[in-house]
Amino acid sequence: MDIFTLYIYQPFFNILVGLYWFVGQILPSPDMGIAVILFAVAVRIILLPIDLIGEQSDEEKLQIALKVKKVKKEFASDPVRQKEGIRQLMRQSPGAIFSEVFTITVQVLIILILYRIFTTGLEGADMHLLYKFMPSVRQPINLMFLGKYDLSHTNSALNLLQSVMICLSEIVHLYFEPVRPSRKDFLSLVIILPIVSFLIFMFLPAGKKVFIITSLAFGIALKIVRQILYLTYSFRHQTPENISQPALSTPAPSIGASTTTPPTA
């Protein structure tokens, strides 16, 4: 057995099958789609500490917000230097770089794992990889999600929903960025990226799409909650002379604005 299968694929495979069994204990019949949703949430929760490493504390965010305002004022007549100065402020956290690299690595591994699980694994090829202590599940495993979507085959509706969620995720990300995105950035992330993703994933199993959709929804909710907490903190700690200073976030991106990656698991 190779290292990838033994130390990466097998544990995740067992977790997913275990969740499938758990769903069957709650619902009249097990549903692999619901198990995948729970699996995606579990993965995001496990990775949450890594995500938090890349996030500054509320106090750090407030200080950065004040520095951003200072840079904007100092280089008000030079948009290029203004944008570069703000980006340098955003790159001052080494934890953010580590978090980004680690997250991308995990996402690639998850893609490989889910592809194998829903192409051959759950159809019987990898059932021998279940640990001995795992509860027995009836085979063949039901790969129909809500009795409608076959997770082992591609599905256009879920693929479209995945692209919509990618679009919403990028909009939320850009909305809370301290630097307004350029027309090129906005079009590439909000328009082109979802379209390219639709074309790339249109032939992949629907089970992978359910995972990505859930992961993106989790990420959007987490981003909004973080921003609410930050705004609450900044409002409470602003001094009278800084009450009129803007928060770290900016208004929704405008296509015509001057000046700035895809999902997580």
Task: Specify the residue for token string 């580590």.
Answer: 98
Domain count, the chain: 1
CA 239 to chain centre: 35
Q: Would 118 be classed as within a structural domain? A: yes
pLDDT of the residue at 246: 44
Q: Would 52 be classed as within a structural domain? A: yes
Q: Would 253 be classed as within a structural domain? A: no
- Of the ranges 61-75, 166-180, 238-252, the best mean pLDDT one: 166-180
Contact assessment for residue 40 and residue 265, using Cβ atoms and an 8 Å cutoff: yes
3-state secondary structure of 150: strand
Q: Would 260 be classed as within a structural domain? A: no
Task: Specify the residue for token string 């509860």.
Answer: 135
pLDDT, mean of residues 196-225: 91
Residue 247 has pLDDT above 70, yes or no: no
Domain with 114, as residue range(s), is: 3-242
pLDDT tens digits along 105-141 = 887 888 889 889 988 888 888 899 999 999 988 888 8
Report which secondary-structure segment, H or E, holds 145.
Answer: strand 144-145
Of the two residues 147 and 75, the one the predictor is more confident about is 147
Q: Would 249 be classed as within a structural domain? A: no
pLDDT above 70: percentage of residues in the chain: 77
pLDDT-based confidence at residue 231 (cuts at 50, 70, 90): confident
pTM: 0.73
Q: Would 186 be classed as within a structural domain? A: yes
Q: Would 116 be classed as within a structural domain? A: yes
Q: Mean pLDDT for the chain?
A: 79
Taking the CA atoms of 239, 245, 250 and 251 in sequence, report the sign of the dihedral they define: positive
pLDDT above 90: percentage of residues in the chain: 31
pLDDT of the residue at 94: 59
pLDDT tens digits along 84-94 = 777 776 666 55
Q: Would 252 be classed as within a structural domain? A: no
pLDDT, mean of residues 231-242: 67
pLDDT tens digits along 48-63 = 887 776 565 445 555 6
Of the two residues 77 and 63, the one the predictor is more confident about is 77
CA 1 to chain centre: 31
Burial of 13 (0-12, 13-18, 19+ CB in 10 A): buried
